[in-house]
Structure 1
Amino acid sequence: MKLKLIAWGLGITTVTTAGLVGLISLVNLPYPMIRRPVSKVAPLLLLPSYIEMDHPYREAIAHVEQADQLIHHVSSFEDIKLGEKKVKLAQENLDKLPVWFIGYEPQRYCQMFSCSWQFTIDEFEAARKKIGRMEAIIFQQRNAFNTYQQAEENLQKAKQNYQQAIQPEQKQTIINSWQQSLDELQQLPPQTFAATLVSPKSNSYQGDFQSVTGTITDQQRTNRMITAAKSFSSSATKLCENPPHSVDKWQECQQLWQKAISRLETISQNDIGYLETQALLAEYETNLSIVKLNSKVEKQSVAALEIAKKDIQAIQEQFADGVEADQRKLFISKIQTAMEQLKKVKTGTTAYEEAQKLLKLAQTKMQEAT
Structure 2
Amino acid sequence: MPRIFGLLKWGLVGTVGIVGGLWVINLPVPPLRQAIAKTAPILLTPSYFNMDRNYRAAIANVEQSDQLINQATSSADIELGAEKVQAAQKNLDQLPVWFLGYQPVRYCQWFSCGWRFTVDEFQQARQRVGRMDAQVFQERNAFTQLQQAEASLNAAKAQHQQATDDTQRQAAIAAWQSAIDQLTQLPPTTLAGRTAQTQLTAAQRDFQAVTGLQASAQQTNTLISAAKAFGKQAAEASQNPPHTVTEWDAVASLWRSAIAQLQRVQPDDAGYTEAQTLSAQYQSNLGQINTRKQAEQAAVQALERANRQITSLLASTPNDAAQVNRPQTAAQIQSIINELETIQTGTTVHPQAQDLLKFAKAKLNELQ
Q: CA RMSD in A?
A: 2.5
What amino acid is the match of 1:56?
N
Q: Which runs of 5+ in 1 are unaligned?
A: 218-370
| 1:77 correspondence with 2:75 | yes
- Mapped to 2, the partners of 1:11 and 1:97 lie a distance apart of 37
| 1:200 correspondence with 2:198 | yes
- Mapped to 1, the partners of 2:31 and 2:133 lie a distance apart of 37
2:119 is matched with 121
- Using structure 1 for the length normalisation, give the TM-score: 0.52
Please say if residues 70 and 83 of structure 1, whose CA atoms lie closer than 8 Å, have aligned partners that are also in contact: yes
1:295 is matched with none
Question: Aligned with 2:212: secondary structure?
Answer: helix
- Mapped to 1, the partners of 2:93 and 2:28 lie a distance apart of 15
Q: How does 1:112-151 map to 2 (within 5 A)?
A: 112-118=110-116, 120-151=118-149
- Mapped to 1, the partners of 2:20 and 2:77 lie a distance apart of 47
2:182 is matched with 184
Q: How far apart are 1:179 and its partner, in Å?
A: 1.0
1:244 is matched with none
Question: How far does the alpha carbon of each residue in 1:308-346 deviate from its partner, in whole angstroms, 9 at most, with x for none?
Answer: xxxxxxxxxxxxxxxxxxxxxxxxxxxxxxxxxxxxxxx
- Mapped to 2, the partners of 1:173 and 1:190 lie a distance apart of 28
1:64 to 62, 65, 70: 62
What amino acid is the match of 1:154?
S
Question: Aligned with 1:175: secondary structure?
Answer: helix
1:332 is matched with none
The alignment covers a number of residue pairs equal to 215
The alpha-carbon distance between structure 1 residues 168 and 11, as it changes in their structure 2 partners (threshold 3 A), is same
1:18 is matched with 16
What amino acid is the match of 1:204?
A
Question: How far does the alpha carbon of each residue in 1:10-31 deviate from its partner, in whole angstroms, 9 at most, with x for none?
Answer: 3432332232222212211222
Q: Which runs of 5+ in 2 are unaligned?
A: 216-368
Please say if residues 101 and 119 of structure 2, whose CA atoms lie closer than 8 Å, have aligned partners that are also in contact: yes
- Mapped to 2, the partners of 1:32 and 1:196 lie a distance apart of 49
Larger C-alpha radius of gyration, 1 or 2? 1
Please say if residues 105 and 120 of structure 1, whose CA atoms lie closer than 8 Å, have aligned partners that are also in contact: no
1:157 to 137, 151, 155: 155
Q: Identity of paired residues, percent?
A: 51
1:54 is matched with 52
Question: How far does the alpha carbon of each residue in 1:258-317 deviate from its partner, in whole angstroms, 9 at most, with x for none?
Answer: xxxxxxxxxxxxxxxxxxxxxxxxxxxxxxxxxxxxxxxxxxxxxxxxxxxxxxxxxxxx
Please say if residues 183 and 197 of structure 2, whose CA atoms lie closer than 8 Å, have aligned partners that are also in contact: no
Q: How far apart are 1:92 and its partner, in Å?
A: 2.2
- Mapped to 1, the partners of 2:184 and 2:38 lie a distance apart of 63
Q: How far apart are 1:167 and its partner, in Å?
A: 4.4
- Using structure 2 for the length normalisation, give the TM-score: 0.53
The alpha-carbon distance between structure 1 residues 199 and 34, as it changes in their structure 2 partners (threshold 3 A), is closer
Question: How far does the alpha carbon of each residue in 1:188-244 deviate from its partner, in whole angstroms, 9 at most, with x for none?
Answer: 333322233233343321122123323989xxxxxxxxxxxxxxxxxxxxxxxxxxx
The alpha-carbon distance between structure 1 residues 165 and 106, as it changes in their structure 2 partners (threshold 3 A), is same
What amino acid is the match of 2:91?
N
Please say if residues 55 and 114 of structure 2, whose CA atoms lie closer than 8 Å, have aligned partners that are also in contact: no
Question: How far does the alpha carbon of each residue in 1:346-369 deviate from its partner, in whole angstroms, 9 at most, with x for none?
Answer: xxxxxxxxxxxxxxxxxxxxxxxx
